[in-house]
Amino acid sequence: MDSKHILTIWKKELRDTVRDRRTLVSMILIPMLLMPVIMLGMFKFVSEQAARQQTQIAKISIVGGDYAPQLAEAIKSREGVEIAEVDVQNYKKSVAEGEVDAVVVIPEDFQNKIAGEKAVSLGLVSKSTNANASNALAAISSAVAAFNANLLEGRFAARDVNSDILSGVTVLPEDVATEQETGGFILAMLLPLLIVMWSIVGGQYTAIDVSAGEKERKTLEALLLTPVKRVDVVFGKFLAVSTVAIISVITAISSLYLSFSYAGDLGIPMEGGSGLSMGESGGSGLGFPIEPQVALLLFVVSLFLVLMFSAVILSISIYAKSFKEAQSYIGPAYIVVILPVALVNSVPGFESALWMFALPAVNAVLLFKELFMGAYDWGHISLTLFSLVIYSVIAILVAAKTYSKESVLFGD
């Protein structure tokens, strides 16, 4: 290998890339600006929707309210409740058609049963596909619970018995997760899949441009006519693709991390899947630093992911005669990689086995999750790095071999 030739090709491809507006947009602008806007926008939208849901007025009807005026009053006086009248004969239809969110049906013998200290069942009609039904049910349940508490207190008082007898066992939850662990949990949900995606997407445009693009522009033959060895041509292009991809990944991760860190200052609460939340209004977002060793491991693993995917995309792209054709080849390949990765990332409490840390891309997602949660399993780390190095080397050799095939280069 001639390092001078490799350097010349590397520099030229990078210069060409920087002059291509489309690559700059996909490599810098989108990860730097658009992705944080989308991610934070998503969080803000979800939290606003949840808040709106909670404050939405529940429309409730009471059928047979005269049989239990106190209970009816308890329901009416709940915050966020509006009482509506319905046709008593067709109250189910009213619920089905969305005129009301729920109907409470009080039986005629309510007072008799209460007086006789017998159990009473209330009918509660709602439609599960109505987004506001849960608010209505919550308001009714709360009113019934309060009514029950009053009722039982009265009964115990009549018997000269302390109503604390009902307390039994209570639960006092205590969360020992540190701020770091909570932040790590949120990062572990969001970043691993994004890092893997950007390892592919970040250099994709450049990979296609330097391979299929050269063929399409009819400059490839001139390049192959120079005294540069085939393997040096491949290596120079591969380095250019990897450089662009790693810059894109670093930009994406840094931008997202900074956005999440300052989300609280923007009034955007960051919520985890288990109801964990960080940085509610007035807070400072994630607000914890990533440890240097974690950052280093993230970088090294991301680097090898980038090297592997850069070589793979380069090998695939050279088969195509045009940019468009190359994109059509890479699309299915992208899905093959992302599907298992998305699965591993999305399944809550996914149990990983050691062999999974030898699967490309899947191993990176699993490792990133562990690192963000503060878990350092050196077996997992070693296996991930070792396997990614092997895959990278294989991918580069395949790319070099592909560039030697006359049928691929000249397929005419």
Partner 1 sequence: MSIMETLLKVQNLVKEYKNGFRAVDDVSFEVGAGEIFGLLGPNGAGKTTIIRAISTILSFSGGKIEVLVKDNRQYAEEVRSDIGVLTTDIGAYERFTGKENLEYFGELYGLSSSELDKRIKELTELLDMGSFIDKKAAKYSTGMKQRLAIARSVIHDPKVIIFDEPTSGLDVLSSQTVRDFMSHSRESGHAVVFSTHQMYDAEKLCNRVIIIHKGKKIAYDSVENLKVQTGERDLEEAFLKLVRGGEI
Backbone angles phi, psi at 195, to 5 degrees: -65, -45
Backbone angles phi, psi at 161, to 5 degrees: -120, 135
Cα-based distances in Å from 53 to 57, 103, 133, 230: 9, 19, 10, 62
Gap between the Cα atoms of 172 and 151, Å rounded: 26
CB of 1 to partner 1, least distance (A): 12
Gap between the Cα atoms of 336 and 312, Å rounded: 13
Gap between the Cα atoms of 116 and 204, Å rounded: 76
Nearer to partner 1, 350 or 410 (CB): 410
Nearer to partner 1, 76 or 229 (CB): 229
CB of 322 to partner 1, least distance (A): 13
Nearer to partner 1, 213 or 285 (CB): 213
Nearer to partner 1, 203 or 287 (CB): 203
Name the one residue in this structure whose structure tokens are 């490309």.
360
CB of 2 to partner 1, least distance (A): 9
Nearer to partner 1, 220 or 250 (CB): 220
Nearer to partner 1, 9 or 63 (CB): 9
Gap between the Cα atoms of 204 and 261, Å rounded: 29
3-state secondary structure of 230: helix
Amino acid letter, 115: A
Nearer to partner 1, 143 or 210 (CB): 210
CB of 400 to partner 1, least distance (A): 16
3-state secondary structure of 271: strand
CB of 175 to partner 1, least distance (A): 56
CB of 12 to partner 1, least distance (A): 5
Number of H helices, E strands in the chain: 16, 6
- The distance of Cα 65 from the centroid of its chain, to the nearest Å, equals 47
Nearer to partner 1, 45 or 410 (CB): 410
Binding residues for partner 1, per CB under 8 A? 5, 8-9, 12, 15-16, 19-20, 217-229, 406, 409-410
Nearer to partner 1, 12 or 44 (CB): 12
CB of 203 to partner 1, least distance (A): 18
CB of 407 to partner 1, least distance (A): 9
CB of 41 to partner 1, least distance (A): 34
The set of residues, in sequence order, having a beta carbon less than 8 Å from that of 350 and lying 6+ positions away, is 344, 366
- DSSP letters, 44-112, are HHHHHHHHHHHHSPEEEEEETGGG-HHHHHHHHTSTTEEE----GGGHHHHHHTTSSSEEEE--TTHHH
Whether the CB-CB separation of 138 and 75 falls below 8 Å is answered with no
Q: Are strands 123-126 and 270-271 parallel, antiparallel or unpaired?
A: unpaired
Nearer to partner 1, 195 or 231 (CB): 231
CB of 222 to partner 1, least distance (A): 6
Whether the CB-CB separation of 264 and 287 falls below 8 Å is answered with yes
Cα-based distances in Å from 290 to 266, 295, 362, 373: 21, 6, 22, 11
CB of 298 to partner 1, least distance (A): 33
Whether the CB-CB separation of 17 and 240 falls below 8 Å is answered with yes
Nearer to partner 1, 27 or 188 (CB): 27
